[in-house]
Structure formats: C-alpha cells, structure tokens
Amino acid sequence: MKYFLYWGCSLEASGANYLASLKPVFEKLGVDFEEIKDWNFCVASILYIGANDLAIKVLNARNLAIAEANGAYDIIAPCSSCYIQMVKVNHEIQEDPELAAKVNEALAEGGLQYKGGVKVRHVLDVLYHDISVEKIKQTVAKPLNGLKVAGYVGCQSVRPYGEYDSVERPITHDRIIEALGSEAVAFPKKMRCCGSGIFLTEMEYCFGLVKDILEDALNHGAQLVSTVCPMCAMNLEVYQPRINTALGTNFDVPIVYLTQLMAVAFGGDLKRDAALHYNIIPPETAMQAAIG
C-alpha cells in the first residue's frame, strides 16, 4: 500500500530525530511513501491569531488537493498537530457542502480543487491498523526486554474524532511499545496536554503541565517517555532544565520518539537509524540493559 508522508515543518528541525528514525522504520516494514509535492505548512494550533478560520481551512485544503490530484493515497501525518488540523479540516469539508464550495472558491485562485477524496491518518493508526502489531513483533531483532516506557500519547494524536483509537484511553501506542519487548507502564496522564504551541509564550503556566506529566510517568516506574508528536518531545525534553530551575524539580528523563524505540528494536544503528544522538537527554543509559 502506498501513502503520502506529510512530515511538516517541525520534523525538519526540532523534531529531526522523529523523521530520521521514521524513514528507516518504514523501510523495514515495507511502507511505501512519497512526499506531497510542494506542500505548505498545516497551521499548527496557533495560526488563528493571525488568520480567520477559512484561511486555516484553505491552507490545509491546498495540501489535500495536491495529494488528491497526485494519486489520492492516504496521508500519514506523524506530527500530531499536523494530524489534528488536517483530519479536522478534511472532515469538515467532506461533511459540509457549503464550506466545501467556499474552500474551493479560494483554492480556484491558485488553480486547485479539492473533492474530499483523501484520508488523513496518524502514524499510530497506520502502524497499528495497516501494518499490525504482529508484523512489528516479527520485525523485532533486538527486543527491548525489561525497558519500562511511559507511552505519552499527548492530547492531539487521536483527537478530535478518535477515528482509530479512544480519545480518552488510547491503546495503540502501548501495544506497539509492548510489541518491541518493552513494558508500557500504566500512566494516567498519558493524554494530558503538555502546553502544545503556546509553551514558549506562556512558559510560567505550562511548566506545571509538563511537571505533572513527568512526575506521573516516573511515579509509575518509567525509565523513559515515548512520544509521537514533535511538540510533546520539545516541551517535555528541551525545557526540563528550565522547569527544574523554576519549580525546584530534579528531572533528567529521556524523551524518545516511538519510532526511535522501533528503530533500535529492529536492530538498526543507534545513530544512523535511531538518531539517538539527536536527543538532548541521552536515552542510551536507560536503554543499556535492553540493548546491551
């Protein structure tokens, strides 16, 4: 099966370790993908400040229209912010003919048209439902035995519709962690928001959110936290020293992408395939016992 991979702006910069590990993992699993030609930014969750809602829909519809005109394969969005925006706009256009007409009137200014014929999928959805846990298990060469992982799903990864997993108690992330041989610890705050796109500008309010999430993960025995979203990774990992200073905590918790764990478990090179050296808080020590 062929897909479009819409990796978005973050995965080329602050989320580079996500893309660097996602590609070899897809290769190992035989996922055939191509880039959406000349894609534009998805609007994340902060563009409403400068743009009205129709502009936000048009930005997303442009990517959908290009995908539709070039094969209409399912679009995989590894970034949860891209996912939630695209899946939402796509549904709204598909369900509301009046809106679809307006969006198409704007798209026509650039010679594009979107008929609503593309599906948007999160990377968890594709791994769990298309590839299957069984196939992932079969691909594991170096099981991560004994590694205790908090599978932090984050708020946007399965929302707003819960198309492939529960919006309150999702399981796909944990099942994949378990397929790698590692243990998915029970972790009630796995859906709690990290502060998302307003973290940088509202730090004093968002520090507490990350503190709660990390504490919950550690209290449940996690050695590291796995994420599937570049904003979660950024907020949970890169701000830890600042949170320690501001709130008097002592966090030094490695934050990895699920695809980095997968790359390691598939027997890939720790640098070339898993990009572990891109991580600021090194996960190697926590993973030592498992990977030897």
Partner 1 sequence: MTSYDPSFAREVFENVDYGEEIKMCMQCGVCAASCPLSMQMDYSPRKIFLLIRAGKREEVLSANSIMLCTSCYSCKVRCPRGIPVVDVMHGLANYALRLGFVPRRQTAIFGGEFWKQIYKLGRIDEKDLSRRYFFADGFMQGIRNTLEMADMGITMFLHRRMKLLPERPIKGIKSLRKMLDKAAQMGKGGAGAS
Query: CB 76: neighbour CB atoms within 10 A?
Result: 25
Q: Is 23 in the site for partner 1 (CB under 8 A)?
A: no
Min. distance of Cβ 104 from partner 1 in angstroms?
10
Q: Is 9 in the site for partner 1 (CB under 8 A)?
A: yes
CA distances for 23 relative to 16, 37, 129, 220, 221, angstroms: 11, 18, 19, 31, 30
Using CB under 8 A, which of 70, 201, 285, 288 touches partner 1? 201
Choices 24-32, 122-130, 161-169, 250-258; region in contact with partner 1 by CB under 8 A: 161-169
**Structure-derived torsion over alpha carbons of residues 29, 86, 260, 196, reported in degrees to the nearest 10:** -170
CA distance 198 to 9: 17
Size, binding site for partner 1 by CB under 8 A: 66
| 5 vs 43 by CB, closer to partner 1 | 43
Q: Which residues pair with 3 in a beta bridge?
A: 33, 74
Q: Is 93 in the site for partner 1 (CB under 8 A)?
A: no
Site string for partner 1, 215-244 (x = CB under 8 A): -----------------------xx-xx--
Biggest CA pair distance of the chain = 59
Please list, in sequence order, all residues whose beta carbon lies within 8 angstroms of the beta carbon of residue 159, skipping any fewer than 6 positions away. Answer: 84, 167
Q: Is 44 in the site for partner 1 (CB under 8 A)?
A: yes
Q: Which residues pair with 33 in a beta bridge?
A: 3
Choices 50-58, 170-178, 217-225, 253-261; region in contact with partner 1 by CB under 8 A: 50-58
Secondary structure element (H or E) that encloses residue 152, with its range = none
Choices 54-62, 67-75, 123-131, 172-180; region in contact with partner 1 by CB under 8 A: 54-62
CA distance 171 to 155: 14
Using CB under 8 A, which of 1, 141, 198, 247 touches partner 1? 198
- Secondary structure (3-state) at 123: helix
Q: Is 167 in the site for partner 1 (CB under 8 A)?
A: yes
**Structure-derived torsion over alpha carbons of residues 151, 152, 153, 155, reported in degrees to the nearest 10:** 160
Q: Which residues pair with 238 in a beta bridge?
A: none
Min. distance of Cβ 86 from partner 1 in angstroms?
14
Residues that bind partner 1 (CB under 8 A): 9-10, 12-17, 38-41, 43-55, 57-59, 62, 84, 102, 105-107, 109-112, 155-156, 159-160, 162, 167-168, 191-193, 195-198, 200-202, 205-206, 209, 238-239, 241-242, 277-280
